[in-house]
Amino acid sequence: MTKDLTILLAGPRGFCAGVDRAIHIVERALEKFGKPVYVRHEIVHNKFVVDSLREKGAVFVDELDQVPDNVPVIFSAHGVPKSVPAEADRRSLTYVDATCPLVSKVHRAAERHFDREHPVVLIGHEGHPEVIGTMGQLPDGAVILVEDTEQAQTVELPRDVPLGLVTQTTLSVDDTKDVIAILKDRYDNLELPKKEDICYATTNRQTAVKLIAPKSDMVMVIGAPNSSNSKRLVEVARLNGCERSMLVQRASDINFDDLDGVATLGITAGASAPELLVEEVVEACRLRYNVTVKFETFTKEDVIFKLPASLSD
């Protein structure tokens, strides 16, 4: 006898405005310039998206020195150090910057603090492309990286000048608040951002997961293993009532034996995961269970970011 399965679909989920813009930038560049268009790093952290763009004519490389002369190149949504466009200018390469506008806002905030001779504290994960890009807006040594509460308790910072604070946009909202609270308690010269650097999409997806986690026997987050915001969703689900939470890239990755004893499955998707992959997972469940889908929508999103002027003609 086929078992019943209730699926709670979290909303919002999946693509955010920055990811949607970055993908459209690659597609529009291919239309405008023709094949091939080179992309430095994965345009967004999702294998399905990257493979789809590769099939259309995009060539993904790790560094600019892998880009031939006289071909267009796109910088990923995570942002790049200033040295990258500077090198592209030196080589007279045509380039399009697909950095998410919300990441660019963090870059500008870091620059403003530096211009006022304030040491810059960045909360983020070492080695993440966004962190590399933000730190690369300023000279070496100008940004002090704090990764977690443990580092916040031990880091030594100046006390005689204001400290500027910026954060990676895809962090756990709750974890970041804890880090900020520790830093603020230790350093009363810390200047907090006027508005949270963590982007609206990250915040909304984490809030939606907090709503479905207590009602779910398992939460499945669709996203890539190198996607910061997707991994944070798994952590948030576990911390908010659903220890059985996992990250999967797509339906073919699921071991359905893991769903033994699951009557209610919560599903969400990271900000770089297309809705097509969500539909694929739901359909895979329908093939095995009597599925009832319930939508648990926290809020609606209507944010749209314009394409760069060089592509909008």
Alpha carbon distance 208, 136 (integer Å): 33
Alpha carbon distance 152, 255 (integer Å): 39
Length of the chain measured in residues = 313
130 has catalytic annotation: yes
For the chain, report the end-to-end CA distance as a whole number of angstroms: 58
**C-alpha torsion angle, residues 252, 257, 259, 260 (rounded to 10):** 170
Give the angle 12-288-48 at the CA atoms, nearest 5°.
45
- Among candidate residues 42, 130, 147, 296, the one labeled active-site is 130
Alpha carbon distance 147, 40 (integer Å): 25
Backbone dihedral angles phi then psi of residue 11, each to the nearest 5 degrees: -140, 135
Catalytic residues: 130
